């Protein structure tokens, strides 16, 4: 797409759950750009055919902030109850995997 074009409507979905209905709905609602974790190759092609810009950031990067907020919310809601709620720090899988030699 045009790298100098102004971005107005953005469709944001964490993780990798986008499929054809979501792409078509984003286009219908006027989105020009989709920000998501990752897309399947056929869905990436559909987005291109629909003239949508796509930013794939990786599932981990797009899901972690929401999981942190959920953890904090549950801590507040369940304060005083007999629950332990922790956010487990992990590394993205892509930083752990090594290519075959």
Domain spans of the chain, in order of start: 10-59, 62-96
pLDDT over threshold 50, residue 80: yes
Scan for tokens 């399947």, then name that residue: 40
14, 63, 19: which is closest to 45 by C-alpha? 19
Q: Could you tell me where the beta strands, DSSP code E, fall in 2-92?
A: 10-13, 33-36, 53-56
Q: What are phi and psi of 10, to 5 degrees?
A: -125, 135
With 0-12 CB in 10 A as exposed, 13-18 as middle and 19+ as buried, what is 29? exposed
| Least-confidence region, from 2-11, 27-36, 75-84, 87-96 | 87-96
Residue 97 — very low, low, confident or very high, per pLDDT cuts 50/70/90?
very low
> 39-55, pLDDT tens digit by residue?
999 999 999 999 999 98
> 8-33, pLDDT tens digit by residue?
888 988 888 788 998 999 999 999 99
pLDDT over threshold 80, residue 5: no
More confident residue, 84 or 33: 33
């Amino acid at each position: 797409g045009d790298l100098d074009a102004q971005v107005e409507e953005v469709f944001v979905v964490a993780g990798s759950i986008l499929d054809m209905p979501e792409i078509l709905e984003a286009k219908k609602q006027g989105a020009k750009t989709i920000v998501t974790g990752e897309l399947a190759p056929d869905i990436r092609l559909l987005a291109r055919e629909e003239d949508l810009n796509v930013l794939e950031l990786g599932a981990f990067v797009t899901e972690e902030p929401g999981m942190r907020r959920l953890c904090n919310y549950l801590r507040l809601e369940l304060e005083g109850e007999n629950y332990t709620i922790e956010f487990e720090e992990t590394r993205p899988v892509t930083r752990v995997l090594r290519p075959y030699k």
